[in-house]
C-alpha cells in the first residue's frame, strides 16, 4: 500500500479501466490507511464511479483479483451491488476453502444490520462444502456437516403453508414472503439447530397485523412481539 495518497490515486487511475475489482481493492485499503474526510470523499467518488461502470455491464465483470482480496472487499459490510458481484465471483472460486478462517469475521456481529450478512456467507460456505467450525452466538456451526438452512424440512413445510394460505392474493403474498425471508435471516442459526418454535403462527400473526387485519395488541407471544418490532 502506497504511503502517499497521490500515489494511491495514481494506482487506482492506472488500474480502474483494466480490472474494476482490483481498483476497488485498492480503494478499500485506502480507507484503512488514509483518514481525512477529504481523502475519504475522493475514495468514495472512485468507488461510486467504478460501481456505476459495473452496473452498466449488468453487474458482470472479470477479475484476476486473488480470492483473499475479494473476501476483504466484502468485509467492508456494505450490502450493495458490489458486495453481490464479489459474492457471486467467490461462488466460482475453487480455493475458498484455503481461506475458511477468514469468514469467522462475518459471524462476529454485534447488531442486526451486521448479522444480515451471516446467512448469505453461511450459504456460500455450504455451497463450497467448507468443513470448518465457526463460532456463532455461542454455537459451533460447521457448514459441511449442518447443510443449508433452506433444506430444513420444517422450514420447507412452513414456506408451503404460507404460500397455500396467501398465494392467491399477490399483494398479501409479497408481504408474507418478505416476512418469511426476514424471519429466516434473523433466525438462521437457531433454525439449523431446530431451536425456533411456532414459526408459522409467528409469521402469520405478524403478517395479519402488518396487513391491517389485526391490531398489534393481538400479538401475545414474546416471539411475535420481538419480530413485529423489526418493522416499526
Whether 25 and 16 have beta carbons less than 8 Å apart is answered as no
Tell me: the pLDDT tens digits for 102-143? 999 999 987 777 788 899 999 999 999 999 999 998 899 999
190: its cell numbers: 437457531
pLDDT tens-place values along the chain, 232 residues long: 678 999 999 999 999 989 999 999 999 999 999 999 999 999 999 999 999 999 998 888 999 999 999 999 999 878 788 999 999 999 999 999 999 999 999 999 877 777 888 999 999 999 999 999 999 988 999 999 999 987 777 788 888 999 999 999 999 999 999 999 999 988 999 999 888 888 999 999 999 999 999 999 999 999 999 999 988 8
Whether 123 and 106 have beta carbons less than 8 Å apart is answered as no
Positive or negative torsion for Cα 67, 185, 176, 155: positive
Please give the Cα distance from 32 to 29 (Å, whole number).
5
Burial class (CB within 10 angstroms; exposed 0-12, middle 13-18, buried 19+) of 13: exposed
Output the pLDDT for position 76.
Answer: 83
Burial class (CB within 10 angstroms; exposed 0-12, middle 13-18, buried 19+) of 47: buried
- Rounded to two decimals, the pTM is 0.85
Output the pLDDT for position 111.
Answer: 76
Amino acid at each position: 500500500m502506497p504511503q502517499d495518497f497521490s500515489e494511491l490515486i495514481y494506482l487506482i487511475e492506472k488500474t480502474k479501466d483494466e480490472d474494476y475489482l482490483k481498483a476497488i481493492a485498492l480503494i478499500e485499503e485506502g480507507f484503512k490507511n488514509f483518514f481525512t474526510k477529504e481523502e475519504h470523499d475522493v475514495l468514495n467518488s472512485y468507488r461510486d464511479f467504478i460501481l456505476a461502470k459495473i452496473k452498466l455491464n449488468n453487474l458482470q465483470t472479470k477479475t484476476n483479483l486473488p480470492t483473499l482480496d475479494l473476501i476483504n472487499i466484502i468485509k467492508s459490510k456494505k450490502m450493495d451491488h458490489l458486495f453481490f458481484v464479489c459474492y457471486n465471483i467467490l461462488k466460482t472460486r475453487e480455493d475458498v476453502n484455503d481461506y475458511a478462517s477468514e469468514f469467522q469475521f462475518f459471524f462476529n456481529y454485534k447488531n442486526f444490520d451486521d448479522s444480515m450478512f451471516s446467512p448469505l456467507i453461511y450459504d456460500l460456505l455450504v455451497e463450497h462444502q467448507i468443513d470448518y467450525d465457526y463460532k456463532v452466538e455461542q454455537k459451533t456451526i460447521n457448514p459441511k456437516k449442518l447443510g443449508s438452512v433452506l433444506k430444513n424440512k420444517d422450514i420447507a413445510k412452513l414456506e408451503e403453508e404460507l404460500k397455500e394460505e396467501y398465494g392467491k392474493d399477490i399483494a398479501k403474498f409479497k408481504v408474507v414472503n418478505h416476512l418469511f425471508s426476514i424471519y429466516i435471516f434473523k433466525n438462521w442459526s437457531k433454525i439449523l439447530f431446530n431451536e425456533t418454535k411456532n414459526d408459522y403462527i409467528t409469521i402469520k400473526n405478524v403478517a395479519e397485523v402488518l396487513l391491517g387485519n389485526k391490531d398489534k395488541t393481538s400479538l401475545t407471544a414474546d416471539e411475535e412481539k420481538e419480530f413485529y418490532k423489526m418493522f416499526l
